[in-house]
Structure 1
Amino acid sequence: MALTDKQQRFVEEYMVDLNATQAAIRAGYSQNTAHSIGAENLIKPEIQEAIQKRKQELSDQTGITAERVLKEYAKIAFSDIRELYTPDNNLYDIRQLDDETAGAVMSVEVDVMSVQGMPVGETKKVKLYNKLTALEALGKHIGLFEKDNKQKQAEVQNIINLGSGVKPKEDE
């Protein structure tokens, strides 16, 4: 069954922010019923199919794939601030960083200190993206935090041990 013009507009608007209520309002549905209409639209098979198709089209056009997003999260989650420093404890020039390390850097600020108009030193502030947020996103992706977690406690303990440098126990 083909979508109505309003349903097609809902699909396009839903892709803006993945908010069904706001998409319904922008698509022309009443503000009073937008919440329920948005929820109803999301369970209609033909609208679900149209949303999936549009997501795939956007992914193809932009090159954004689940794999690419996960790789970016991994850059942040497994970044090591020590990679920003030279062996003599100076910060590398940002242009010298490899893609993995640079991908974890959120911002770099350089404040030049001067005396009587002459530069005498500088302070560099480097801010990395939040590792915990990235680790949580990756953990959710692999099902690490699901309520009905099917993973064994031993497997979870091995992951924790790996993070702290302890080798996992071999199965007996």
Structure 2
Amino acid sequence: MPALSNAKHEAFAQGMAQGMSASEAYVAAGYKESRSAASRLSTNVNIEARIAELIEQGAEKAQTSIERVLAEMSRLGFSDVRKAFTPGGALLPPSEWDEEFAAAVAGIEVVTRPTGERDEKDRPIIEHIHKIKLWDKNSALDKIAKHLGMFVDRIEHSGSVSVTIDRDDAKLL
């Protein structure tokens, strides 16, 4: 269903889909405050259909976002720095890193400095030092674990608590 042709009706439907009450959405759409008119408008078949469509679109976007965020956090949480090196220990060029590892890299610093030695053609030998910084694995794993419900927040209370037990509800074991 495309946007409603009446701009105020579309604004009203948008407001309702965002969680506003009918009265709030009615005023936000540009109407004068009237609870009864807002209530009547909210029962319009076309408006009800548009609200349902907007809510469904929002739910689809939210699901995509949740999946994408979890995928990105997984890249960080399960990254392996060994993917940056050849089997012999030489650093691979970043263009050869796989997508999973590349996403986990927060930054690269390359420092060049002369070693003080010279090659066979009397040119100075330059040393390259590469520093690779990865995003925080612990933070990513913690967020994934919380999303999966692996951690239970405990709340401890201290002090006195009074409990009333009704004799009719009490059972002896």
TM-score normalised by length of structure 2: 0.50
- The structure number with the bigger radius of gyration is 2
Determine which structure has the larger helix proportion and give its number: 1
Higher RCO, Cα 8 Å, sep 6+: 2
